[in-house]
Structure 1
Amino acid sequence: MGDTQDHEEIKEPVKDLAKEITQKYTQELTREAIKKAIKSKRKDLSETEIKRLESQLKKLTDSEKATRFKEASEEISREILEGNITAEKAIEEISTVLESSLETKVSFLARAALSLKNIPLPVKIAILIIFPLTAAIALFIMPSLSMAPGDLNFDLNEGESDSDQFHVSNTGGGVLLWTASSDQPWISLNPERGANEGSVIVLVDAEDMEEGTYEGTITIESSAGTEQCQVNLVVGSEYPGMIVNPHSIEFYLAEGEVASRELQISKEGSGTLEWHISPGPECPWISLSRESGTNSDTLTVTANTEGLEPGTYEGTITIESNAGTEQCPMRLVVGSQPPVLAVDPLSIGFELEEGESGEEELRISNDGGGMLEWEASADESWITLSPERGINSGTVTVTVDTDDLSPGEEYEGTITIESNAENEECIIYLNVLREGEDKEDPILAVDPDPLSFNFNLLEGESDSEEFYISNEGGGDLKWNIVLDPDWSSWISINPDAGINLGTVTFSVDSSDLDPGQYTATFEINSNVGAEEGTVNLTVYSEETEGPDLVAFLEVTGDATTEVEENDYYLAVPISVTVRNQGDEAADIFKISTEYTNLSGTYSVAFRVPGESSIWYPYTDAPLAPGEQITFNGDVLFRVSLDGETVSLTAVADSCSEDEFKPAYCRVEESNEENNQSPAVEIHF
């Protein structure tokens, strides 16, 4: 009973709404019918009559046009509401009535009624018991805009063009008139307007466009609403890029074993990547699943230890392509050497506010042979590790969480790395700050300090050394290494940037160098300061005849003030290493030191404990070919140099064993030009 009463209360408002909608839609139908009637009638009218008719209609508004043919419009509206005629047929019939009305005065209502009475109704609509009028409008009268597919995506090179299309359709009734437009000049549409169904071709042109990602929007507007789709365009170079992963491959195998690893070659950007891969002649123990290909691919790299003696073997795989050349270093450890666990760093410090979390990396590697199997664990719940186990080399992410910890407290935990070799520990220090409490500033520290590296190599040899960067303060230490641009041909560094802790490796290669001495400088820049370093390289030839001495000098500490015989000195600790790179023994020789400042070059005393002379330490026996000797002592400067900067060098001279060892003596060497060490700067 109640439901019926509710239906009766809303029935009349629904009818009124349906009538209002239908009348407005009939106005649209009438406008289209007038256009059609005039177009059809033009051929029967004179130019004067056509102009007069067009002038009269032009002055009428849409509502006035509908009012002028009010009776016919109302009759058609009733027929549409009752489901006796479709919108398309209504336009046809209104056009016929209007066309006749241009030359006769027959009642529009009579003509329209006569025409409409002859139209059969194939389907009677009765979907809703309470709302039959609304259902008829929705299904037979109102158009509905549909657009498919959705977003369009294009991937082009510079200067290229491409096309795609989308489809517009009317999923309702009546006539759907639509227009298409875009908001970008690189998008063209054809056609730009239509009725009911139609396909629109979308042309995208990357002419004069730079590499990058672009977005545009296509809008379809109609009397039934608006639809949009997004156009995504990626413009790339016609030349591809190449990524090789991993950057290096290691094998740890027993004698006679064979093992494989995967190597991925990935294409970046557009165009076709063409590549060729080959192992170097120094690693015949490497074979590849294929030697060439295009675009992205995964290869199998196999190491075979058959015929190899226990030891470490190194080589390089070279990937040449139209995107450049990449190299992947290979390392094979064969045999009976046991694995050796190496962990870096052995301590990590965090300084976080209450509620914060932080991450650092813990590096694990096998510095021996065989297979290293390891597992990492933490003794505190606020420390989590990922991953917790691995084989040979790996990087563990150490995460600390302060959620359940008390602000203002310091905590300590231990990470234990157990392996089939030995075990190692890494200590974790955590300082939980109160909210708003200032963090301690980072402090840049290096080891060794100062950073000075000396290499002695035969032509074609290579070698490497490591140093360590650490943060001895709080917060994050961000650092990067700036290299001397002149040294790229003979030295490489890895890594060249990092946060907080880092182990940096210098690799020196003399393959393309002539015999002689080379020096390069570098600087570690950070957000709290900088440190400088020096790399010295002496390259010598195996064809050397006779002795040949080369010297290297290193400052090992800070200057101190000393008093000697009522005189003041600045004592600087140094270490001087002399190597005989010749093919004959070098007789007894001395070491002299000298410095250079703005005033000139001067000799300076080199005091070595146990030596009879404060100026020149001597050897006490000949130095055999390939051997070296190191002198540790202090260089004594006048205090008047305080506040200045000087360059210090050491010189190795040869003296005959049976001479009196005078202050200045020389014995002929195969090369007299390389006795002096590279200079080291000292700041007082």
Structure 2
Amino acid sequence: MIVPEMPALAVSESVINFGNSETIKRVNVSNSGTGKLSWNVSTSETWITVFPLNDSTTTDKKEIIISVTRPGLLPGNYTGTINITSNGGNTALTVNMSVDEFPELNINPASLSFGTDKSSLSFDLKNSGGGKLEWKLTSSENWLLFEPSSGETTTETEQINVSVNRIGLNSGNYNGIINIESNAGNISIPVEMTVEEKPLLSYSPETINFGDQDSTANIEIRNIGNGNLNWQLSGNQPWISLNRANGNTPANQKDDVEINISRNGLAPGDYNGELNISSNGGNGVITVTYSVKENPKLSFSPGAINLNDNDSTASFKIKNVGSGILNWQISTEDDWILIPITNGTTTKNNESEIEFNVNRDLLSPGDYSGNIDITSNGGNGSINVSIKIKDEPKITVSPKSLNFGDKDSSKTFEIKNTGTGNLTWQLSSNETWIKLSASDGITSSKDNDEIEVMVNRENLEPGDYEGSIKITSNAGEETVDVSMKVESKPNISVSAKNLDFDTGFNSLSFKISNKGTGTLEWEIETISDNWLSVNPGKGSITTGETAVFVNIDRNIMSPGNYNTKIDINSNGGKESVNIKVTVEEEPILSVTPASIDFGSTLNSAILLLQNIGTGRLSWSSEIMYIDGDEGWLQMNQTSGNISSSRSINLSVNRSGLSNGSHTADIQIYSDGGNATIHLY
């Protein structure tokens, strides 16, 4: 049996919606049967385009591209049909599309004429249709400007401001185009303008400040208009001069003019002037300022200085014979010339006196010549200084005082010849306790001798001593003062070297005295035994004596024998006092409890006796009945000796006692104290 092929048409979409903006859609055609499917596509709508119009397939899917075209259609909703016929059946596709309202470009006026004098005009740009008009303005002319240059317009009217710039243009007629491009078409607006011959003055700078140094500057005159610029320059002050006073400058060209000022014959101060510019393209004024500085001038006297044999100081005067302030500096290359003031200022017609020194010590005998150089803002100069150095010893003594204090016995001083030639000297002292290592000598130039001075304190009373050493020489006399101190010599003495507190004393004393001279300063060293104390612990003695009390605290001492010492330091020696203490044993009675209440049922109790001291405690007791019957209390021990503690048993016998309260006391007697215990 033969089964024929049966193709079947299948389409992926039956309705296609393009909305208001989409333009292309795709639909798949496939064969859902067998064999080969051949198909054709057609539509009666001119705004629908289909590709391809026919094709065939067996098993593969085929694509049909559908596009829509809106230009030329009126706003509204559109529906069309695409018919597909095939050997496997037919079908129809519905196509939906909408066309929005479209914009329409409209301008007014259609052209702009600026003539010879207008520089700004405007035109209106309007959307006469619907929707949104998108637009953009351009022009190839650089003298043509407009604002705004682009935008979007729906229902409003846009005013476009157009301006022209004639600066820099040659005279003549100018034509340009403003191109308007939009989504509703393009429009060109013709623009015409006339540029007359009209020069325009521009100059720089507007202000010239020559300060106090400059005298030349340049001025630039420029024609930023068109045509020829005819200009003239003139200054209002006689100190202003120009290399040219007029000129003719073409359009977009410039001329340079040199201006000069003269300060000759002008007093110091600030000056102002003006340069007036007149032209057929406008006028202008340039402000000119400058200053004339003060003009100081250096004068000095004398021009040469000759120092006498003994002179070491001289002076000269600096004077400002000009104007303003003279700033001056002084220097010298000769080290023997000493100038304490090296710079300064001097005002007009005033003078400054400068004093200087010469150091003869640096020079050997002979003739010397040097220079003092003066530099200033009013000129420079030099003063010659001459000096003659003779052989002249000069004595210098150092130090000029010697203080030996209370301990030193030897010191030195130095004799130096800071002059020229030989220095001959002799020494003498006015006190016998001053001894010298030399009595005379000769010291050559720039040399020195060291003299030892010794003092002898033997057999001198305590006190301050002063003396002097006289130095006579061929260069004059000098004196060295000598001082020393002889101190007093205190000597410590104690009245007792030993203190025996035995078993009963708690306080003893000894006396400190000064057996020497001056003031004895004494102090007791720190005592390590906490049971021992002294008062006072330190002091000072010139004459007489001081009692020192020594105390012991037996309460913190255990029984036994104690030996220690008290050390005393002083500026007059050291002493010690031996301390001896004997502490005997000492029993102390303690009884607990202090009272016992037997009540109506308690028949026994314990009494605790303790020796809280030292040694053995001897004790005895006595029962003393206070109220009620007697004989009802018994103690298992009524006396004895205790080293540490003893418990005493107490018992009561109520048999035969009358009704009521019965009280008694137990009295304990001991060599460590007594105690009373109350019984109820």
**So what's the TM-score if we normalise by structure 1?**
0.19
Higher share in helix = 1
Greater relative contact order: 1 or 2 (C-alpha under 8 angstroms, separation 6 or more)?
Answer: 1
Q: Normalised by the size of structure 2, how large is the TM-score?
A: 0.19
Larger strand fraction of residues:
2
Larger of the two Rg values belongs to structure: 2
